[in-house]
Structures are given as structure tokens and as C-alpha cells.
Amino acid sequence: MNYLSQNKLKQWREENTPRECPIFEIELKDAVVDHDHDTGMVRGVIHRQANAWEGKVYNSWRRYAKNNCRLDFIQTLENLIKYLKGPGTDIFHPTGVVQLGRRFSRLKKDEQEFALKNFGVGINEINACKNTEERVKLYKNILKNL
């Protein structure tokens, strides 16, 4: 093991900065040296925002998961990825329909109409809607009856 002193940190970062961030896969213009807060060991050079995001994810795990499961951070992340990539269901959650409705309501009128047409809604039914509120209601009803 080696110690990287503060006065050599910048030089080390410059010599070890990859072309792109290994987390965000973007050009590394705003690079920082990342380290493990538990061990103090340098992990590498990543984008500043990737470093901040990783810290928030880790702190969230410590707050919500560390004392509620026997797994470490990496194992828990791997399980999360496996779960998120899983098959899921074909069931809309009530809150999910509300969230989708809000997102739909923020679309421009022509975008709302286009979305409704993609669900097979006829032009007469779309034109019968006098405003965004009525188009949102129609949209939510479609989701509930898919």
C-alpha cells in the first residue's frame, strides 16, 4: 500500500484520468480522485458528479439498508440491478398512473394528442376533450383499462 499526499494528488489525478468516466461514460472534463470512505483507499478517477452521486447512493444504503440486511453495499447494489432488470409485472400501480398522468399533463396539446393516437384513441374522442384536464382523464382511463 502507498500513501498519496495532498500535494501529489493533482498530479496523480492528471496522470490517471481515463478518457471517459467509468460510471457515467462521458468525457472526463471535471475529474476527481474517488476514494472508499470505509477503507480510505483510492478507487480511481471519475467525474465530479458521479462521485457525488456514488456518495449519495452509499449514504442512502448506510441509512436504510446496512442495519436491515446481512449484505454489504456491493452485494445490495448487485441485487438491486438484478431486481430492476427482472421481468416485473404488467400491473399499473395506482400511484404510477397518477405520476404518468402528471407527466402527460405537462406535454403540449399536440404531444398529448399524438400519445393518445398511439394508444388507438380515435380523433373524434380526442377532439371531444375540451382541455388538458379532460385529455389527462382520458389518458388515465386508457392506462387503467389496458
Reduced to 3 states (helix: H, G, I; strand: E, B; else coil), residue 49 is helix
pTM value is: 0.78
Same structural domain, 67 and 100? no
In sequence order, what are the residues at sequence separation of 6 or more whose Cβ sits closer than 8 angstroms to the Cβ of residue 46?
Answer: 21, 22, 23, 24, 28, 31, 32, 34, 54
Q: Which domain holds residue 128?
A: 94-144
Q: How many domains does the chain have?
A: 2
Residue 112, in any domain of the structure: yes
Does one domain contain both 12 and 61?
yes
In a domain, 80, yes or no: no
- pLDDT given for residue 146 in this prediction: 86
- The pLDDT of residue 139 is 97
- What is 103-134 written as a DSSP string? HHHTS-HHHHHHHHHHTT--HHHHHT--SHHH
Whether residue 64 lies inside any domain: the answer is yes
pLDDT tens for 99-126 read: 999 999 999 999 999 999 999 999 999 9
